[in-house]
């Protein structure tokens, strides 16, 4: 099945006002709704509403951080959505970032690979309804058992940017979720994950033919994200070390404006989908043709009505 996803809720619009849009998504060609979690809505509540508003859509978290909830609570929230959307829920988990974990949630951000791995190994038996008791390495759980396990446990997918996590996803999870890549980067990611696991990617789409405006917004986002160590290492691995070296140098020196200006046009155009609505849809399809299973479109502000943009980007 060819999948076509959208990231919801849309920014700046109250969640209840998005009901009619969500109800229309299947008729527009969308198969999936993927949530996110930074400092807006949490990852699970919008999916609970979407399960009621559009009961044929697959729902996914991209991602729920493993540090900001205890393992038991994460299992409880996942079980709740799995019960609301049986067979249609994918739990995406990941480490998130030091800003979100330490700065905003007052939790230690240590050994992210181990903590994601251990959370995955806890969730699989917990969501299957087993009593879980033991030391997982980065944490210990004592005699946890869901009161009501979902009849169909959710898929569990890992946020993965580099070979280590991609290989863990290939070995122990149902797939991987990645972020900030170009269509031409997909084969390299796919090679580490393997052909038999699902690959989801959030794709940033700015539907405007004002190239300067799209690139200006793209540069702001790229400098904000790709200076985070995990993303910097990801793009080193993808081969952008030289292209982004000046951005990193100026950012480290505190020159944010200069760092933005130092990002080459071709990097922005690789990582941000922009242009006419038809061109944006075609560009997203290029990711699929390169080996992506599920695009999760993230609509960026372009001055157009966001509801109209979502409708126009549907896979018709």
Tens digit of pLDDT for each residue in 188-205? 999 999 999 999 999 999
Q: Give the model confidence (pLDDT) of 139-155 as tens digits.
A: 999 999 999 999 999 99
Is the predicted pLDDT of residue 1 greater than 70, yes or no? Answer: no
Cα separation of 193 and 176, whole Å? 8
How do residues 70-129 score in pLDDT, each as one tens digit?
999 999 999 999 999 999 999 999 999 999 999 999 999 999 999 999 999 999 999 999
In this structure, of 1-15, 20-34, 72-86, 152-166, the range with the lowest mean pLDDT score is 1-15
What is residue 2's predicted lDDT score, i.e. its pLDDT?
A: 85
pTM over 0.85: yes
Residue 284 has pLDDT above 90, yes or no: yes
pLDDT computed for residue 57 by the predictor: 98
């Amino acid at each position: 099945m060819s999948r076509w996803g959208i990231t919801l809720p849309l920014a700046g619009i109250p969640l209840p006002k998005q009901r009619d849009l969500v109800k229309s998504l299947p008729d527009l060609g969308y198969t999936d709704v993927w949530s996110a979690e930074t400092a807006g809505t949490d990852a699970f509540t919008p999916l609970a509403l979407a399960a009621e508003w559009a009961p044929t859509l697959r729902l996914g978290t991209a991602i729920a951080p493993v540090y900001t909830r205890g393992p038991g609570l994460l299992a409880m929230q996942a079980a709740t959505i799995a019960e609301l959307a049986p067979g249609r829920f994918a739990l995406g988990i990941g480490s998130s970032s030091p800003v979100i974990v330490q700065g905003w949630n007052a939790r230690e951000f240590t050994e992210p690979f181990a903590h994601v791995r251990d959370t995955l190994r806890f969730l699989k038996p917990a969501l299957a309804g087993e009593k879980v008791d033991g030391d997982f390495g980065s944490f210990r759980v004592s005699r946890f058992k869901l009161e009501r396990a979902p009849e169909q446990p959710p898929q569990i997918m890992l946020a993965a940017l580099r070979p280590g996590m991609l290989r863990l996803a290939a070995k122990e999870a149902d797939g991987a979720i990645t972020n900030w890549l170009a269509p031409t980067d997909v084969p390299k990611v796919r090679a580490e994950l393997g052909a038999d696991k699902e690959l989801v990617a959030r794709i940033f789409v700015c539907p405007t033919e004002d190239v300067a405006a799209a690139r200006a917004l793209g540069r702001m986002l790229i400098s904000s994200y790709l200076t985070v160590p995990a993303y910097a290492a990801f793009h080193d691995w993808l081969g952008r070390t030289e292209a982004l070296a000046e951005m990193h140098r100026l950012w480290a020196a505190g020159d944010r404006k200069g760092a933005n200006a130092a990002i080459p046009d071709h990097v922005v155009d690789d990582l941000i989908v922009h242009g006419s609505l038809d061109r944006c849809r075609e560009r997203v399809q290029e990711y699929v043709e390169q080996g992506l299973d599920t695009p999760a479109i993230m609509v960026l502000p372009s001055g157009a009505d966001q509801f109209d943009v979502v409708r126009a980007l549907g896979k018709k």
